[in-house]
Amino acid sequence: MSFVTVRDLFQTYGSRPIIERVNVDVAEGEFISIVGASGCGKSTFLRLLLAQERPTRGEIRIDGAEPAREPGLDRGIVFQRYSVFPHMTVRDNIVAGESFRAGWGRFFGDAARAARDRADETLARIGLDHVADNYPATLSGGMQQRLAIAQALAAKPRVLLLDEPFGALDPGTRLSMHGFLQDLRAETGMTVFMVTHDLEEAFKLGDRVLVFDKPRWDPHDPSRYGATITYDFDARDGGIPFQTLKENIHVPEPH
């Protein structure tokens, strides 16, 4: 059963096609990695998923709903930078994940206290409880991205979009962030789209890896054609999906 359905998606800026004829079906709970060279429409595709832009042609539906016209609660996003609100403390950033949909953007009285407690629980779980009252600028890059992911999840989106979330982190921090994301995912079973430049990361975290590339190439006018999904890898079991199958066939069952 397809949860996110992308049909015949085209996006053109002026006369320049960016992506063309993208079709893809994603089941609920799948982790999709998106890779490709720079300028191959990965980020455009993510913006279309986010409904920050609307496609020239085609449509994206989540769970059969009407295509969205602007970003909303059903899609969460974590950018590479500027993902948390710099003028709010770490705790308030988490609370904002729930309170921004309220009329004044904040809770009052008992609701405020309850939200605070929930935020403190979240912070304890992601190991940021010791900096709850600090401003994000005092946090390291990895801590800020952990906060950004937790904030996005606090709003309980149906689809989580990650735009090169670990691109600016050093390799060690990146590894621990992978663990953090895998744990969260095991817990929530969320549908995730992640754009990345790191192939290893894409295959490690993703269930599927979509490769964006230009199938047609005019050497005299490189921007003539747009990109589309050229490969759709099954990335489970470290990118060797049939390994278990083969083992089942060739290795005699232990008795």
Partner 1 sequence: MRLINIKPGPALALFLVLLPFAAVLIAYAVGSDIRLTANPSDKLLPAPGTVGDSMMRLLTEGDRRTGRILFWYDTWASLQRLWLGIAISASVGLVIGLLIGLFPLMRSLLAQFVAVLSMIPPLALLPILFIVFGLGELSKVVLIVVGTLPFIIRDLSQRTVEIPQELLVKAQTLGASSWVIAIRVALPQVMPRLIQAVRLSLGPAWLFLIAAEAIASDLGLGYRIFLVRRYLAMDVILTYVIWITLLAFAMDWLLRRASRRFFPWAEEGL
Q: Which is nearer to partner 1, 152 or 229 (CB)?
A: 152
Question: What does the angle CA 237 – CA 175 – CA 86 come to, to the nearest 5 degrees?
Answer: 125
3-class DSSP state of 58 = strand
**Contacting residue, 1, 65, 137, 249, with partner 1 by CB under 8 A:** 137
3-class DSSP state of 247 = helix
- Shortest CA distance to 34 belongs to which of 239, 248, 208? 208
**Contacting residue, 3, 135, 180, 233, with partner 1 by CB under 8 A:** 135
207 in Cβ contact with 236 (< 8 Å): yes
3-class DSSP state of 131 = helix
- Token pair, residue 213, equals 């590339």
Residue 227, Ramachandran bin (φ over 0: left; ψ between -120 and 50: alpha; else beta): beta
**Contacting residue, 85, 180, 225, 233, with partner 1 by CB under 8 A:** 85
Is 246 a binding residue for partner 1 by CB under 8 A? The answer is no
Q: How many residues bind partner 1 (CB under 8 A)?
A: 34
- Name residues contacting partner 1, limited to 154-173 (CB under 8 A): 155, 157
Q: How far is the CB of 75 from partner 1 (least distance, A)?
A: 6
Phi, psi of 236 (to 5 degrees): -65, 160
Q: Which is nearer to partner 1, 73 or 245 (CB)?
A: 73
- Token pair, residue 165, equals 């979330």
First to last CA, the chain: 37
With CB under 8 A as the contact rule, which of the stretches 37-45, 79-87, 199-207, 239-247 interacts with partner 1? 79-87
**Contacting residue, 37, 102, 114, 240, with partner 1 by CB under 8 A:** 102
- Name residues contacting partner 1, limited to 46-75 (CB under 8 A): 50, 52, 70-73, 75
Is 87 a binding residue for partner 1 by CB under 8 A? The answer is yes
Is 83 a binding residue for partner 1 by CB under 8 A? The answer is yes
The residue ranges that bind partner 1 (CB under 8 A) are 50, 52, 70-73, 75-77, 79, 81-88, 96-97, 100-106, 135-137, 151-152, 155, 157
